[in-house]
Amino acid sequence: MEPPLYNLVPEPLDTAEHDTPELLAHARSIAERTKSNLFCSMYGTNPLNIADPSLLITWFPWHKYSAPQPLPEVTMSEKLHVCEQLNATGNPLLFLVEHGGQKMLLKVYHKFPDRDALQDDENDDGEEDTWGRYTRKPDLRVLFQRECNAYAHLLHFGVCKRGTVPHCYGWATLSSRDVGKLVALPLVSDVVRALSSEERPPKDILIEYFANAERLSYRNITSEIAQVALRALHAINAANVIHGDVHRRNILLLPDKRVIWIDFDCSSCVSSGHLMRQDFLRELRDAWSYMYEELVSGMNRILDWI
């Protein structure tokens, strides 16, 4: 997957400076009625399209790949301080925690089956939309295993160290003491309160927390940021990981304009045995289309209500 693919970014355009209020009003009217972006092709043809369909189905063998060691299991320290719950709904549950003066993100997967059921079942796929994003996520044990497997690869191949994804400290099984700290928070959801009564202890992943980060959106994306995001995705692919859920909600933008890809519970790795080399190019191709045909292509100008 190295060196980085050439010419991911189209030539800068100055077409926006010629947009008249009448043009934008007309485009907005059409977009609100049809959900179609009239400017989707303003950056031209996707440079990652493959013209020969036979290349998409031909098996190319993997060279010099060996699966990394599993993500390490860690023991939660008694000094771990739980600050707050970050999401009122959803699974996994997200908590801001602090240890040794360092803030971290605790992702808790609850309602888990027993240990014997925790198999690497990466073929249990959910349903996908036209962008390759999941519209229905698979079983929770699969999401947990996928994220652990992805971070094992990202750590092993140095992507966490490069800073394009969060650093992962490992996974753990929450003890009754740990669950008690979560339940004792002053403002928590009913789901958190129910953790103490679950038959099986919840499992969690401990990762780096980014303060003052904002999710990528139509309002803050630029062609330069899209380029950084695509090259960061390429670095993830180079670690033999398919992200599997390319969407702005899974991309963080830091104040210094650094781009961070998050949420790998829909990912796939070469170790699963069912990925082709072309799958990585497909994801990068679809990400290019998503970035330039939807996010950057003027949607932020015509759909300012999003």
- Render 42-84 in DSSP notation, one character per residue: TT-S-TT--S-THHHHS-----S--PPPPPPB-PPPTT-EEEE
pLDDT at 11: 55
Residue 119 and residue 110: Cα distance in Å, rounded? 16
Question: Which residue has better confidence, 204 or 293?
Answer: 204
Where is pLDDT greater, at 289 or 9? 289
Q: Is 106 exposed, middle or buried (0-12, 13-18, 19+ CB in 10 A)?
A: buried
pLDDT of residue 118: 32
Return the structure tokens found at 292. Answer: 């330039």
Task: Look at residue 166 in the predicted model and tell me its pLDDT.
Answer: 98
Q: Using the predicted structure, report yes or no on whether residue 285 has a pLDDT greater than 80.
A: yes
At residue 8 the predicted structure's pLDDT band, cuts being 50, 70 and 90, is low
Average pLDDT over residues 132-149: 74
Check residues 211 and 117 and name the one with the higher pLDDT.
211
- pLDDT of the residue at 286: 94
pLDDT value at residue 90: 72
- Encoded tokens for 27: 């485009």
pLDDT at residue 74 above 70?
yes
- Closest by CA position to 79, among listed 178, 218, 200: 178
User: Which helix or strand (DSSP H or E) is residue 247 part of?
Assistant: none
Q: Is 236 helix (H, G, I), strand (E, B) or coil?
A: helix
Is 290 in contact with 299 (CB distance < 8 Å)? Answer: no
Residue 283 pLDDT greater than 90, yes or no: yes
pLDDT digits (tens, 9 = 90+) for 233-262: 999 999 999 999 999 999 999 999 899 999
Per-residue pLDDT averaged across 49-76, rounded? 86
Distances (CA, A) of 118 to 93, 142, 152: 19, 8, 16
Domain boundaries, the chain: 81-208
pLDDT of 138: 60
Q: Percentage of residues in the chain with pLDDT exceeding 90?
A: 44
Q: What is the pLDDT of residue 114?
A: 38
pLDDT of residue 133: 43
pTM for this one?
0.80
Residues 125-145 have a mean pLDDT of 60
- Quickly name the fold that domain 81-208 has: Phosphorylase Kinase; domain 1 (3.30.200)
Residue 94: band (very low, low, confident or very high) from pLDDT cuts 50, 70, 90 = very high
Task: Write the CA distances from 101 to 68, 104, 177, 281, integer angstroms.
Answer: 30, 10, 21, 41
Average confidence score pLDDT of the chain = 81
Cα separation of 38 and 25, whole Å? 12
Q: What percent of the chain has pLDDT above 70?
A: 76
Exposed, middle or buried by CB within 10 Å (0-12, 13-18, 19+), for 295?
buried
pLDDT at residue 113 in the model:
40
- Tell me what pLDDT residue 155 has: 98
Look at residue 171 and tell me whether its pLDDT is greater than 80. yes
Query: In degrees rounded to 5, what are phi and psi of residue 130?
Result: -70, -15
CB of 260 within 8 A of CB of 213?
A: yes
Instruction: Work out the pLDDT band at 130, boundaries 50, 70, 90.
Output: very low
Which is nearest to 97 in space by CA: 204, 200, 215, 213?
A: 204
Residues 183-231: tens digit of each pLDDT: 999 888 888 888 888 778 889 999 999 999 999 998 899 888 999 999 9
